[in-house]
Structure 1
């Protein structure tokens, strides 16, 4: 994962093109913020989906996505169209990540809404909107005739998406978040669920909660891959490897290595050789 803030486009492109040639690295991710979360508050931040499309056109193998899209930024039908476009551009490599958006207690993230004229609804509204958005997006990707949708938060007339994504029946849906209401949405809609940081113990606890919510609605919890973002320490790679081992032991098979800028030369090769290779006994080939 390369957060597209406080970096130049060429820096992100360099890392992704290098990673594209390293089979041990299966996927690459951006984030979806419109302003920096750290460092210079007025520093550069690229729009995630625009950048993702550019990177999709410059890579060939990596599966790719936004970890995770803020459902507060774009109407769901527009987002479905954007995502379908990226899936086509990438040749069918999109992993569709989505969540409610920034937490109410994250002031550095909250400011981007006011700065861009976006409404920051309360958590209840945001989760209900996310559930409707997932339904709308899935239907737009799979249904062959226009349809109407009238929910509590979204209303569409004659909704239709063409072209469809290349992946059939649709790109995998990854839902990120840890609050119980979001986990309920993941239980219904997600192919993957991502824990956005925090301790491994907390992640395992939230994964267990997701299991219970799946069972409540009659879904097999094993159908949802468990994903987690783990920061990479360039200076203490052993600490990173230990954390990854704990995550794997806790049932998280989709590991996202969070690289922080500035990116060292050949950082993707370093990650493969220093972080991934020593864990080969813990990693099952895809």
Structure 2
């Protein structure tokens, strides 16, 4: 029988419609609880839910601050929008965070927001960022993954003449702490993004509202891996599951179904406002209590 990895649980605190100190409180508490192994932010510049003019923190800046305030949690963004930062700049930012975190970064990246999501799209126009079509976004993502890995691993400057990115004398110093590089998590559900994940990802993440759909996408990723001669089992399957404070049994059932579907990397999305001692509640109600 194939080896089934033990589930690894984490939390996600969307840094929007909340205060910095609320997020910090939750991460500091989670850092003391061994059952919670990883913690995540998202990467939006404006709210995508709630008050459209409410607060939203820049993800990588906040992640660096939280890296300095924690000691054990693995941490990252679910997922960085490749549309927002040039890949060489992103490689430098991520290397810095991995150093601040003493080697705890999981590097999450995706193609960027769907064009059909108006609240997500407006942040690009508001910040003077171009918003290309999906084919451009996916092609740019594939090149970005190549560039970022090279910057983290190559000792000498290099030029890169891609379709979407051109670099001259590209070089990253200092390198990340982790060798050969921080794990790369590619997030997304489209077939085109799954092809990028098959080539570049150590982990693949999908939002988990529909676990049957997630399982079908995982099978498609298996196929794409096989087509390029990669062992599908070399990519850890990760899923984000929404947490219900009022009905934890619903979340426990979703956790059980996700694990059974081959997703051992579980990210529990915590809605704000965060209750007192929410990390301990998550551990007691969702991680150590099995579904009935």
1:79 aligns with 2:90: yes
Deviation at 1:197, TM superposition (A): 3.0
For 1:8, the equivalent position in structure 2 comes to 19
Moved more, 72-81 or 197-206: 197-206
> Does the alignment pair 1:186 with 2:197?
yes
Alpha-carbon separation, structure 1, partners of 2:240 and 2:280:
19
Q: Deviations over 1:53-112 (max 9, x none)?
A: 000000000000000000000000000000000000000000000000001111110000
Distance 2:283 2:155 in 1: 42
Superposed CA deviations along residues 131-175 of structure 1, whole A, max 9, x for unmatched, are 000000000000000000000000000000000000000000000
Larger RCO of the pair (alpha carbons < 8 Å, separation 6+) = 2
Question: With structure 1 as the length reference, what TM-score do the two structures score?
Answer: 0.97
SS in 2 for 1:279: coil
Q: Alignment partner of 1:94: what SS?
A: coil
CA RMSD of aligned residues (A): 1.0
Which residue, out of 70, 76, 79, partners 2:81? 70
Measured after TM superposition, the shift of residue 280 of structure 1 is: 9.7
Report what 1:244 is aligned to.
255
Corresponding residue for residue 18 of structure 1: 29
Within 1, Cα distance between the matches of 2:194 and 2:115? Answer: 17
Match of 2:155 among 144, 147, 152: 144
Q: How does 1:22-101 map to 2 (within 5 A)?
A: 22-101=33-112
**Structure 1 residue aligned with 2:5:** none
Q: How far off its partner does 1:196 sit?
A: 2.0
Q: Distance in 2 between matches of 1:27 and 1:143?
A: 28
SS in 2 for 1:257: strand
Distance across 1 between alignment mates of 2:285 and 2:207:
23
Equivalents in 2 of 1:231, 1:24: separation in Å?
18
Q: What SS does structure 2 have at the residue aligned with 1:39? A: coil
Q: Is the 8 A contact 2:253 2:291 kept in 1?
A: no
Preserved CA contact (<8 Å) 2:59 2:77: yes
1:198 and 1:115 map into 2 onto residues whose CA distance is 29
Query: Is the 2:252–2:291 contact (alpha carbons within 8 Å) kept by the matching residues of 1?
Result: no
Please say if residues 76 and 105 of structure 2, whose CA atoms lie closer than 8 Å, have aligned partners that are also in contact.
yes
Q: Structure 1: how far apart are the matches of 2:199 and 2:22?
A: 37
Task: Give the one of 158, 163, 170 matched to 1:159.
Answer: 170
Unaligned runs of 5+ residues in structure 2 are 1-11
The answer on whether the counterparts of 2:249 and 2:291 sit within 8 Å (CA) in structure 1 is: no
Q: CA deviation at 1:278?
A: 1.1
Match of 1:212 among 209, 223, 229: 223
**Structure 1 outlier segments of 4+, above 4 Å:** none
Aligned to 1:272: 283
5+ residue gaps in structure 1? 282-286
In structure 2, the residue corresponding to 1:29 is in which secondary structure? strand
Distance 1:39 1:127 in 2: 29
Separation in structure 2 between the aligned mates of residue 244 and residue 123 of structure 1, nearest angstrom: 31
Compute the TM-score of the two structures, normalised by the length of structure 2: 0.95
